[in-house]
Amino acid sequence: MKESEFWERMELHLGRSYARAWASQQTLTALDGLTVDAALAAGHSCKQVWRVVAAALDLSASDS
């Protein structure tokens, strides 16, 4: 998954402004307590981070 696709999915589910705010503020246990932004900066793959986000947001399998 490309980073652009990751952000498209984030914006689709959370809205443009809230997606960026959520990514910078919400820590996720499955990412060792990192935020989405920190996990991506640390080198976690977009696909891995998206799976964690999808689970945290309780998205259906078709959305992930």
DSSP string computed for 15-50: -HHHHHHHHHH-EEGGGTTEEHHHHHHTT--HHHHH
Residues 41 and 35 sit within 8 Å (Cβ to Cβ): no
Grade residue 63 by pLDDT with cuts at 50, 70 and 90: low
pTM of the model: 0.89
pLDDT value at position 64?
59
Indicate whether 62 pLDDT > 70. no
Residues 42 and 33 sit within 8 Å (Cβ to Cβ): no
Task: Give the domain range for residue 41.
Answer: 3-63
Name the token pair of 15.
């809205």
pLDDT value at position 60?
75
Distance, in Å, from the CA atom of 64 to the CA atom of 52, rounded to the nearest integer, reads 10
Our count of domains for the chain comes to 1
What are the pLDDT digits (tens) for 2-61? Answer: 999 999 999 999 999 999 999 999 999 999 999 999 999 999 999 999 999 999 999 875
